[in-house]
A and B are shown apart, each in its own frame.
Chain A
Amino acid sequence: MLAGIFLGLVSAWWAVGNLRFEGTRSIGQWSVQNDAVKANPYEAARAVRRGGGLGPSEGIELITEVSADNKPLKAACAYLVAGPMPQGVLWTLTVSDRDGHLPRNPAGRFGFTALDAMTFGPARQVRISIGRDVRPGDFIATTGLSSLRLTLRLYSPTLATRVPGLEQLPTITSLGCDEGGSS
């Protein structure tokens, strides 16, 4: 009986923390966190700790823990976030671990926003590197993280009802795992 209870608690803990188990809507590698998914009891349990994300008048929150080739993001690896961002909205991109802890870096750089990210070309595409070793251009150090999650928040009331398409979002590709960490 104790083994059954233990197994039940462990599986519940695992299921609540597992991103792909929440019934969220996916756009490529991004998962949309919106209010509708709170009907899912796993997402409701997770929202108790996370605080509910963004409301309909605020915008939407997209999360990914996988790269474009559907492999789990690893804190020991380097990645490139490249491509377009939805135009005309305030966006922020945040790097954290799966529990929401931010990286420790002297610059206090946890991500980029629509106002401080460099953009390229007429489509204003971003190119943001993530990893443990410094890279040229926009870069976020992942020092101190044991896992990796990217959160893209789009602040616009209209986006809550009109979620951006895959062609409006950047992709995350691996730059390698030879930075002194495991692969």
Chain B
Amino acid sequence: MIDTGLRWIAAMLCIAGLTHIGAVLLAPSHSRDLAFTGVNFSRTDGKLSRVDGGNTATDLDPAFLNGVCRFDGDTGPIRLTGAMPATYWSIAALADDGRILSTLSREDLRGTDIDLLVGRTAALDAARQAAGIDSIETMSLPVDTGFVLVRLFAGDLEDRSHAEVALDGLACRPALSD
């Protein structure tokens, strides 16, 4: 009787352990609640979509204004252009599962005007040649799909207004459409 009970408990714990391991390992690739799942990219018209705690589950710094731009196999590499504010800002490329793949900050790009090509390494070269762009900053990634997240510091009202102007002025378009 006791043996049977112990066997049932042991079997249950084995199943629980396997389920636990499987759930944790499969979560990044099978989760329906990805970092920017709730963001509507259909009406962006070449602009970045504003993201905050209201339309994404991502933990974003509320002292910053954040905008995201989607890239995938259809768009190919994307080109991010615009004027950035004098305050702190950074650009991060994220995979669909939320992993940060590459980042650039104000210190890396040195200047307020940005012209950045983001995409898979091989596709970047093709896009550069097709669009006839020689000197441009690039962000080479190991994936074809993901997001570009732009963070602009907006600590006070003045910073926020500068960040809003900069974010609204940023263009994010497929590089091959230029």
Contacts and interface: CB of A to CB of B under 8 A. Distances in A.
A169 to B, nearest CB: 18
Contacts of A118: none
Contacts of A41: 24-25
Contact of A157 (B17, B20, B107): B107
B20 A12 contact: yes
Contacts of A47: 28, 97-99
A49 interface: yes
B57 A49 contact: yes
A111 B62 CA distance: 8
A94 B59 CA distance: 10
Interface in B26-42: 27-28, 31, 33-36
Contact of B24 (A3, A7, A15, A90): A15
A7 B12 contact: yes
A166 interface: no
Question: Closest 5 CB pairs between A and B?
Answer: A8-B19, A4-B15, A55-B103, A51-B58, A45-B27
Contacts of A100: 53, 57-59
B92 interface: yes
B62 A102 contact: yes
B15 to A, nearest CB: 3
A121 B63 CA distance: 25
Contact of A49 (B33, B63, B155, B159): B33
Contact of A5 (B16, B149, B155): B16
Interface in A26-61: 35, 38, 41-42, 44-45, 47-58
A4 B14 contact: yes
Nearest to A99: B57
A57 B31 contact: no
B154 to A, nearest CB: 10
A35 B20 CA distance: 24
B61 A94 contact: yes
Interface string B90-126: 1010100111101111011000000000000000000
A47 B98 CA distance: 6
How big is the B interface, by class?
A: 35 or more
Contacts of A49: 31, 33-35, 57-58, 98
A127 interface: no
Contacts of A115: 155-156, 159
Interface string A4-30: 111111011101100000000000000
B106 to A, nearest CB: 9
A153 interface: yes
A99 B56 CA distance: 12
B11 interface: yes
A113 interface: yes
Contact of A57 (B14, B23, B90, B156): B90
25 contacts: A1-B11, A3-B16, A4-B15, A7-B15, A8-B20, A8-B22, A12-B24, A38-B99, A44-B97, A45-B27, A48-B28, A49-B35, A49-B57, A50-B58, A51-B36, A51-B59, A54-B92, A54-B100, A58-B105, A58-B151, A92-B63, A94-B63, A110-B63, A115-B155, A157-B107
Interface in B146-163: 149, 151, 153, 155-156, 159
Contacts of B104: 57
